[in-house]
Amino acid sequence: MEEFAKAEQAKADGNKYFQEGKYAKALASYSMAIELSEDDGLDGLDSLDDTKPKNPSIQIYYANRAFCHIKMENFGSALVDATKAIEAKEDFPKGWYRRGSAQMALGRPKEALKDFMQLCKLAPNDKDAREKLKQCQKQVQADKFAKAIGCEKTKPASETVDVAKMEVDSTYDGPMYISGSCTVDFCQHLMEHQKKEQCIAKKFAYQIVLDMIEMLKQSSTLVDIDVPEKGEVTVCGDVHGQFYDLLNIFALNGVPSEANPYLFNGDFVDRGSFSVEVILTLFAWKLAFPNHMHLARGNHETRNMNKLYGFEGEVTKKYGEELYQLFCEAFCLLPLCHVINQQVFVVHGGLFSQDGVTLDAIRKVNRDCEPPDEGLMTEMLWSDPQPGRGRAPSKRGVGVAFGQDVTENFLNVNGLKMVIRSHEMKEEGYEIEHSGKLVTVFSAPNYCDQMGNKGAFIRLDGKTMTPKYTTFAHVSHPNVRPMQYANPMLGQLMGMS
């Protein structure tokens, strides 16, 4: 009984931390409660004794830890814990609730529907449960409709949209985009215009994305970047729609130019509510300096993520559905990774579930699609490093967690010096791992207006490829909350409504 009391105290501590928004500490407390409940103290000999009392709260510990994982967006781990809660007590409603939530966040509405249906059977009078089921059913139907419509379409939006017929209002006083001739002056004017919360004319927004699509068609899955011996290149991580922090990066480090090249390493959009402004700015600079402004695809440059985390809603609200379809085309053409001076491999997520992957194998990956459930492309977008060695299932439920030996194998096979990746928030904006052979860089400070983290960027010199780190704090932005355009279902599932 003493172990039960300790486990209950650990749960209580976890609840307190959770209410304070300290999810990592709450996670540790719930884990302690689970460990105390599962540790029989007799080297497992009593596993044959069915008379030994089991902790009647174990399913609660698992469900609470699953909710922590959902808050931390570790949806794969949430799915595992919710399933364990169900296994411990099959008629425990919160187990089904958490598992359905994790399934939805992973973009699996059909699987989530089964869980929410079971939830409603167990709690038929619960209004919230019925609402979740209703929303999930709507999502499944919407996906079916979208798939049917997609099958009917024979041409992509870029081949059907008619920009010539779009009129620019006579009162418009913003930047004027001339197709095929993007200048520094236009880029500067665009940033100033958007800084005032003003949209550029619809015609110009469409033309920028159309020109970007044509340019990206000439690109490749892996892009080699050459930096002169006396030159430098700046690598930035996730920006996530934080337009005013992007402007601050340019204020601190200079705007893109032939003498000041950049590589933005994915996750330009979603969560932050100025994603349109971010992506149009990055596309414009890319059009102005095709060989000195580099853009890589992140896991949020995908339809599944955009549907949940806000970009689809934002584009549709500001410009219309057709422009969103054009963005989706452009995202599918973005490179998946870069190699700088044949020494530094830069990728959004991380490395692979198998050793021996070569750069040539990566070059052959077809990038012009939505990411599949598994494979090299998905792992490049989703994987994360882990301490120690070996591989483990990803806490996200997609990709793989990889250790230092995996990093070293990849570098040795390909004659490289180090890996730079993004994909994870870091308190200081960057983190050096795997004995200095892998670095994570994240460029969205005070992530989602609540994490308090710094942002960072990395400068590499062409002669030695030695990384220099610059950290920076967030700047103020107009009073528009993050996730303003996100799918309401996501907010409900994560307890943000």
Supply the range of the domain harboring residue 318: 163-492
Q: What is the pLDDT at residue 45?
A: 38
* Domain membership flag for residue 214: yes
The verdict on 119 and 173 lying in the same domain is no
Q: Is 69 a catalytic residue?
A: no
Over the stretch 105-152, which tens digit does the pLDDT of each residue have?
A: 888 889 999 999 999 999 999 998 898 898 889 888 888 877 776 666
The verdict on 100 and 217 lying in the same domain is no
Task: Read off φ and ψ for residue 264, nearest 5 degrees.
Answer: -100, 120
> How many degrees, rounded to 5, is the angle at CA 278 between CA 273 and CA 283?
150
The verdict on 220 and 78 lying in the same domain is no
The verdict on 172 and 146 lying in the same domain is no
The verdict on 290 and 311 lying in the same domain is yes
Return the CATH number at 237.
3.60.21.10
Looking up tokens 């599944």 gives: 304
* Domain membership flag for residue 131: yes
The verdict on 10 and 82 lying in the same domain is yes
* Domain membership flag for residue 290: yes
The verdict on 173 and 129 lying in the same domain is no
The verdict on 44 and 116 lying in the same domain is yes
The verdict on 139 and 238 lying in the same domain is no
* Domain membership flag for residue 497: no
* Domain count within the chain: 2
Return the CATH number at 26.
1.25.40.10
Domain end residue (candidates: 150, 184, 209):
150
| Percentage of the chain lying above the pLDDT 70 cut | 94
Domain end residue (candidates: 126, 150, 174):
150
**What mean pLDDT is predicted for residues 195-217?**
98
The verdict on 132 and 261 lying in the same domain is no
240, 292, 294, 300: the catalytic one is 300
CA distance 12 to 17: 9
Over the stretch 320-348, which tens digit does the pLDDT of each residue have?
A: 999 999 999 999 999 999 999 999 999 99
Q: Could you give the angle at which helices 58-71 and 75-88 cross, rounded to 10 degrees?
A: 160
| Res 228 pLDDT > 60 | yes
Q: What is the pLDDT at residue 106?
A: 87
The verdict on 32 and 167 lying in the same domain is no
Torsional class of 90: left (φ above 0), alpha (ψ -120 to 50), beta (otherwise): alpha
* Domain membership flag for residue 157: no
Over the stretch 260-297, which tens digit does the pLDDT of each residue have?
A: 999 999 999 999 999 999 999 999 999 999 999 999 99
* Domain membership flag for residue 84: yes
The verdict on 486 and 439 lying in the same domain is yes
* Domain membership flag for residue 183: yes
* Domain membership flag for residue 155: no
pTM of the model: 0.90
Domain end residue (candidates: 91, 118, 150):
150
